[in-house]
């Protein structure tokens, strides 16, 4: 029995626990580590949201461009649809507008966070007069919710059988 008492006294005398300073330093290091991890998570989440939003808006602009291309390809240059770039549609942003009644009324086709800087149509007829070639160029930038601009540029060329002679 005496032997167990001596062992217990030695264990209690050796102070096997942590001091207050050691615990405070550990908590401080853990706090710095946690704040860095949460900062990285917040940054990645914000960047992901920004990229996703810009991607969605670019898809919308691409849809407008594809609509113009398919409309010209299907109906040629003889149809009643007229496209134009209009300045100051949305507080200093330019937009694409379309008229489906030969230019009497126009509807906006792009959104308020899209600025169209260029909308050009190039029309040419080869020397053999077989079909017309129309090239459409549209470029500009998209402004996301963080006021960051993302540039875009689309170009498409169409061969049209029914063209105006």
pLDDT digits (tens, 9 = 90+) for 12-66: 566 567 788 888 999 999 999 999 998 888 888 777 776 776 677 777 788 888 8
Q: Quick check: 152 and 141 in contact, CB under 8 A?
A: yes
Which of the two residues, 24 and 72, has the higher pLDDT score?
24
Looking at residue 7, its pLDDT comes to: 64
Domain coverage including residue 152: 58-160
**Is 87 part of a structural domain of the chain?**
yes
pTM for this entry? 0.60
Confidence grade of residue 84 (pLDDT, cut at 50, 70, 90): confident
- pLDDT of 98 higher than 80: yes
- pLDDT of 73 higher than 90: no
CA dihedral over 33, 38, 44, 50, signed as positive or negative: negative
Count of domains for the chain? 1
Looking at residue 82, its pLDDT comes to: 83
Looking at residue 89, its pLDDT comes to: 81
**Is 38 part of a structural domain of the chain?**
no
CA dihedral over 165, 67, 119, 154, signed as positive or negative: negative
Q: What is the spatial distance between Cα 12 and Cα 150, in angstroms, rounded to a whole number? A: 67
**Is 149 part of a structural domain of the chain?**
yes
Q: What are phi and psi of 120, to 5 degrees?
A: -125, 145
**Is 122 part of a structural domain of the chain?**
yes
- Residue 157, Cα to own-chain centre: how many angstroms? 25
Looking at residue 152, its pLDDT comes to: 86
**Is 165 part of a structural domain of the chain?**
no
Q: What is the spatial distance between Cα 104 and Cα 78, in angstroms, rounded to a whole number? A: 16
């Amino acid at each position: 029995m005496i032997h167990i008492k001596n062992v217990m006294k030695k264990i209690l005398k050796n102070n096997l626990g942590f001091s207050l300073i050691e615990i405070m330093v550990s908590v401080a290091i853990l706090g710095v580590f946690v704040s860095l991890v949460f900062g990285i998570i917040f940054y990645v989440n914000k960047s992901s949201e920004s990229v996703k939003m810009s991607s969605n808006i670019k898809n919308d602009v691409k849809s407008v461009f594809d609509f113009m291309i398919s409309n010209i390809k299907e109906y040629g240059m003889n149809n009643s649809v007229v496209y134009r770039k209009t300045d100051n549609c949305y507080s200093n942003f330019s937009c694409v507008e379309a008229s489906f009644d030969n230019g009497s009324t126009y509807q906006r086709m792009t959104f308020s966070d899209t600025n169209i800087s260029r909308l050009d149509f190039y029309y040419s007829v080869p020397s053999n007069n077989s079909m017309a070639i129309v090239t459409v160029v549209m470029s500009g930038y998209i402004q996301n919710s963080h006021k960051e601009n993302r540039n875009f540029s689309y170009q498409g060329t169409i061969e049209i059988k029914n063209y105006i002679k």
